[in-house]
Amino acid sequence: MRSPSVHRWERAVPLAPDVAQSGRMSRIALLTQLPSLVDQCAALADGIGITLAVASPMTGGWQDAALVLLGEDVSDPPGGISAPTVLIAVEDPSTASRTSADAFGAAARLGADHVAILPAAAEWLVQRMISAVEPPVAPATTVGIVPGCGGAGATMLAAALAVEGQRTGLRTVLVDGDPLGGGIDLVLGAETTEGLRWPALAASKGSLRPSTLVDALPRVAGMAVLSWDRTDAADTSGHVFDTVLGAAQQAFDFVVVDLPRHAAGGVVRACHHVQLVVPARVRAAVGAAQVAGRLRAGHHRVGLIVREDERSGIPAQQVADAVGLPLTARMRAERGLATRIDRGESLPTRRSSLTATAAALVEEWFPAREVPETGREPVPMGAGLAERMAAGLR
């Protein structure tokens, strides 16, 4: 007889393609006749957009469920259950120890895989529901782009990487990691595009389903964008950012995070690759060396991208040696690029050093992908300079 576990996270096996496409095995069944248990479980499920199928052991209705919740009132093990099962009990504060013992006894009798005693196990149960209907997959390739100094061009590169990733057929999201940066949606001309920004997510509570994030974010040429807005920055430290980034890594193929120089170590460690961007100037290199030290302390895979400037004449490799990081790529400084973005014009096309660098990096990180022969169309941008300034400052 299997021994039930308490609050144990179990990594689910991904659904077979035909099952996922047909929609079967994507619902959760609750077997109980206790109204209070139905109310508590339904409230948890409703908070993450999942509808429970409430059934009776006598009537069936659980055979094609991805997860079966067994109420503490179920006395006999129902037949025909192939999905994982969780025994749900509600704690009585006056008899807490007896509740736990009774729950374990019932779970052993019914052959349940887990025991969840509410309300203490509510968050665990929510995560278990999410993993049942959206089985965890390997996290998306996540890249953090960090400026070595102000005006390094890191945000432009992050946007170009995301655009290139989407163009190659990767499900891509561009994440704004700098609450004081003015909003990365301005770079893409998406400041008026409808969808959730960080403040709305920061105000939310509890868990976040990957599919919910996909549906809620603004889109630019098919690419999802999670940006800050121009209101007072909300607190996304710790759990909030980790929850959102974790959902993004489950929902997309490619996650590009535009990070500030002071990015928290936990955020940096969540990235598979970290790239520091620095102009080929002496003071910029000195400042970038300090940032590089912080990044190396929390990540083993940090590279340097040098934006070369004909006026300085400093070779990219010399900058890399001074900063103390391996040289990943070099790109030319492009005059007028910032002005183009301010005016709501598109990001550069394939003739741009910025776009060529982004394409080379995406190809390096996803070497086996077949890139569609569609060419690089300019990304549609927003309103003109005056309108964008007025909208951004409101």
Q: Tell me the DSSP string of 189-235.
A: T-TTS-S--HHHHHT--S---HHHHHHHS-EETTEEEE---SSPPPP
Alpha helices in 68-143 (DSSP H): 96-110, 122-133
- At 25, which amino acid appears? M
* Under 8 Å between Cβ of 181 and 260: yes
Q: Phi and psi at residue 154, in whole multiples of 5°?
A: -65, -40
Query: Pick the residue with more confidence: 13 or 182?
Result: 182
- CATH class of the domain defined by 5-133: alpha beta
At residue 4, the pLDDT reads 41
Q: What is the mean pLDDT of residues 357-365?
A: 95
Please check whether the domain covering 141-393 is classified as CATH 3.40.50.300.
yes
* Under 8 Å between Cβ of 229 and 193: no
Q: Confidence class of residue 346 from pLDDT cuts 50, 70 and 90?
A: low
| Tens digits of residue pLDDT in 190-203 | 888 999 999 888 77
| Tens digits of residue pLDDT in 276-312 | 999 999 999 999 999 999 999 889 899 999 999 877 7
| Nearest one of 234, 159, 172, 250 to 201, comparing CA atoms | 234
Map out the domains of the chain as residue ranges: 5-133, 141-393
